A and B are shown apart, each in its own frame.
Chain A
Amino acid sequence: MMAALLRRTGQTVLVLFGVSVLVFGVFFATPGADPTARIAGRNAAPQVMEKVRHEYGFDRPLPVQYAIMMKKLFITRDLASYANRGQAVVPEIMQAAPVTASLVCGAAVLWVTVSIFMGTLAAARKDTWVDRGLMMLGLVGISIPVFWLGQVANLLTQSRYHDTWLFSWVPGLGYVPLAQDPLGWFRALVIPWVVLAVMFIGIYSRVLRHDLVALAGEDFMRTARAKGLSPMRVLLRHGLRTSMVTFVSLFGLDFAQLAGGGALLTEVVFGLPGVGRLTYRALTMLDLPVIMATVMYSAIFVVLANAVVDVVYLFLDPRVRDAR
Chain B
Amino acid sequence: MVALGVLALMALASLLAPLYAHDVAHTDPFASNVAGTIMLDGREVDIMQPNDNPLHLGLSPIGPTWRAAYLLGADSQGRDVAARLLYGGRNSLLIAAGAALLCLLLAGVAGIAAGFLGGVVDTLLSRLMDIMWAVPVYLFAISLSIVMVSQSVRLGPFVLHADSLLIPVFIIALVYVPYAARPIRGRVLALRQAEFVTAARGLGVPVWRIMLRDILPNLATTLVMLGPLVMALALLAESALSFLSLGVQAPQASWGTIIQDGEGLIYTRPMVAIAPGLAIVIVVLALNILGDGLRDALDVRDSGRRAS
Q: Interface residues, chain A, CB within 8 Å of chain B?
A: 14-16, 18-19, 22-23, 26-27, 30-33, 38, 139-140, 142-145, 147-149, 151-152, 154-155, 158-159, 257-258, 260-262, 264-265, 268, 276, 279-280, 283-284, 286, 291, 295, 298-299, 302-303
Inter-chain CA distance A283–B75, complex, in Å, is 28
Give B118-155 as 1s and 0s: 1 = Cβ < 8 Å from A's Cβ atoms: 00000000011011111111110011101110111111
Q: Select B139's contact among A14, A154, A261, A284, beta carbons within 8 Å.
A: A261
Which residues from B are CB-within-8-Å of A140? 281, 285
Which residues from B are CB-within-8-Å of A32? 151-154
Whether B240 lies near A155 (C-beta < 8 A) is no
Across the two chains, which residue of chain A brings its CB closest to B287?
A: A143
Give B180-222 as 1s and 0s: 1 = Cβ < 8 Å from A's Cβ atoms: 0000000000000000000000000000000000000000000
Which residues from B are CB-within-8-Å of A299? 134-135
Given known contacts A15-B134, A257-B136, what 12 new A-B pairs fall within 8 Å (CB)?
A15-B127, A18-B130, A26-B147, A33-B151, A139-B288, A144-B284, A145-B280, A145-B281, A145-B284, A151-B273, A260-B136, A268-B244
Provide the main secondary structure of the chain B interface: helix
Q: Answer whether A280 and B135 are a contact pair too, CB < 8 Å, given A15-B127, A143-B232, A143-B288.
A: no
Which residues from B are CB-within-8-Å of A298? 135-136, 139
Which residues from A are CB-within-8-Å of B134? 15-16, 18-19, 299, 302-303
Q: Select A26's contact among B131, B143, B263, beta carbons within 8 Å.
A: B143
Which residues from B are CB-within-8-Å of A147? 240, 243, 259
Inter-chain CA distance A284–B150, complex, in Å, is 10
Interface hits, B237-275 → A, CB 8 Å: 239-240, 243-244, 259, 262-263, 266-267, 270, 273-274
Q: Select B285's contact among A38, A139, A151, beta carbons within 8 Å.
A: A139
Inter-chain CA distance A46–B247, complex, in Å, is 31
Residue count of chain B within 8 Å CB distance of chain A: 46
How near does chain B come to A293, taking the closest CB pair, in angstroms? Answer: 13
Which residues from B are CB-within-8-Å of A261? 136, 139
Inter-chain CA distance A34–B193, complex, in Å, is 49
Give B143-184 as 1s and 0s: 1 = Cβ < 8 Å from A's Cβ atoms: 110111011111100000000000000000000000000000
B94 at the A/B interface (Cβ < 8 Å)? no
Q: Answer whether A30 and B135 are a contact pair too, CB < 8 Å, given A15-B130, A148-B259.
A: no
Which residues from B are CB-within-8-Å of A262? 136-139
Which residues from B are CB-within-8-Å of A33? 147, 150-151
Whether B270 lies near A30 (C-beta < 8 A) is no
Which residues from B are CB-within-8-Å of A154? 266
Whether B143 lies near A27 (C-beta < 8 A) is yes
B236 at the A/B interface (Cβ < 8 Å)? yes
Q: Select A295's contact among B127, B139, B144, B146, beta carbons within 8 Å.
A: B139
- Return the 8 tightest CB-CB contacts between A and B, nearest first: A262-B136, A18-B131, A148-B277, A143-B284, A143-B285, A159-B267, A257-B136, A302-B134
Give B96-128 as 1s and 0s: 1 = Cβ < 8 Å from A's Cβ atoms: 000000000000000000000000000000011
Q: Answer whether A30 and B153 are a contact pair too, CB < 8 Å, given A145-B240, A262-B136.
A: yes
Across the two chains, which residue of chain A brings its CB closest to B284?
A: A143
How near does chain A come to B296, taking the closest CB pair, in angstroms? Answer: 11
Which residues from B are CB-within-8-Å of A38? 150
Whether A145 lies near B277 (C-beta < 8 A) is yes
Inter-chain CA distance A22–B135, complex, in Å, is 10
Which residues from A are CB-within-8-Å of B11? none
How near does chain B come to A262, taking the closest CB pair, in angstroms? Answer: 4
Whether B135 lies near A155 (C-beta < 8 A) is no
B46 at the A/B interface (Cβ < 8 Å)? no
Which residues from A are CB-within-8-Å of B130? 15, 18
Inter-chain CA distance A196–B236, complex, in Å, is 15
Which residues from B are CB-within-8-Å of A155? 266-267, 270
Inter-chain CA distance A298–B140, complex, in Å, is 11
Which residues from A are CB-within-8-Å of B270? 152, 155
Inter-chain CA distance A1–B134, complex, in Å, is 25
Inter-chain CA distance A27–B29, complex, in Å, is 36
A-B pairs with beta carbons under 8 Å apart, 29 shown: A15-B127, A16-B134, A18-B128, A19-B135, A22-B132, A22-B135, A26-B144, A30-B153, A32-B152, A33-B150, A139-B285, A142-B288, A143-B285, A143-B288, A145-B236, A145-B259, A147-B240, A147-B259, A148-B280, A148-B281, A151-B273, A257-B137, A260-B136, A262-B136, A265-B243, A268-B244, A283-B142, A299-B135, A302-B135
Inter-chain CA distance A262–B289, complex, in Å, is 26
Whether A158 lies near B143 (C-beta < 8 A) is no
Inter-chain CA distance A260–B285, complex, in Å, is 28
Inter-chain CA distance A148–B277, complex, in Å, is 6
How near does chain B come to A141, taking the closest CB pair, in angstroms? Answer: 10
Inter-chain CA distance A151–B289, complex, in Å, is 25
How near does chain B come to A172, taking the closest CB pair, in angstroms? Answer: 13
Which residues from B are CB-within-8-Å of A276? 139
How near does chain A come to B89, taking the closest CB pair, in angstroms? Answer: 14
Whether B288 lies near A158 (C-beta < 8 A) is no
Which residues from A are CB-within-8-Å of B288? 139, 142-143
Inter-chain CA distance A47–B239, complex, in Å, is 41
Which residues from B are CB-within-8-Å of A286? 146, 150
Which residues from A are CB-within-8-Å of B139? 261-262, 264, 276, 279, 295, 298
Which residues from A are CB-within-8-Å of B277? 144-145, 148-149, 151-152
Whether A284 lies near B153 (C-beta < 8 A) is no
Inter-chain CA distance A268–B244, complex, in Å, is 10
Inter-chain CA distance A143–B236, complex, in Å, is 8
